[in-house]
Amino acid sequence: DSGVTQTPKHLITATGQRVTLRCSPRSGDLSVYWYQQSLDQGLQFLIHYYNGEERAKGNILERFSAQQFPDLHSELNLSSLELGDSALYFCASSGGGIDSNEQFFGPGTRLTVL
């Protein structure tokens, strides 16, 4: 158990819909990263937040947005969903201290768009 939690574990929805994925980082971690992993693909970096502020953006579509709240949990919002958005979405956290240079991954949210 990495200490990073993600909800829901599975999500099935229809094209055109909007969903919200939630991530709670490890206690004390200030950074949250979001990744997308399509079937048999590598990890695509989406976005990074540090202590509530956006720090880096990767290949994140305009239909996607994210935020990090004062309690440090983060949400990834996916709207106008398309079939190609079906993927495993990972959240990872890192923070200060001796472990600050590695990421701890949550179990992922599997999104299926029908």
Partner 1 sequence: AQTVTQSQPEMSVQEAETVTLSCTYDTSESDYYLFWYKQPPSRQMILVIRQEAYKQQNATENRFSVNFQKAAKSFSLKISDSQLGDAAMYFCAYRGKGGNQFYFGTGTSLTVIP
Binding site for partner 1 (CB under 8 A): 33, 37, 41-43, 45, 48, 50, 55-56, 58, 88, 90, 92, 101-105, 107-108
User: CB of residue 56 vs partner 1: minimum separation in angstroms?
Assistant: 4
Based on CB atoms, which residue is closest to partner 1, 26 or 79? 26
User: CB of residue 16 vs partner 1: minimum separation in angstroms?
Assistant: 27
Compute φ and ψ for 17, nearest 5 degrees. -80, 175
Bridge-based pairing state of the strands 10-13 and 109-113 = parallel
**Residue carrying structure tokens 């990872």:** 92
User: CB of residue 73 vs partner 1: minimum separation in angstroms?
Assistant: 19
User: CB of residue 25 vs partner 1: minimum separation in angstroms?
Assistant: 15
Q: CB–CB of 89/111 below 8 Å?
A: yes
23/44 Cα distance (integer angstroms): 17
Based on CB atoms, which residue is closest to partner 1, 48 or 81? 48
The answer to whether the Cα torsion of 31, 26, 35, 52 is positive or negative is negative
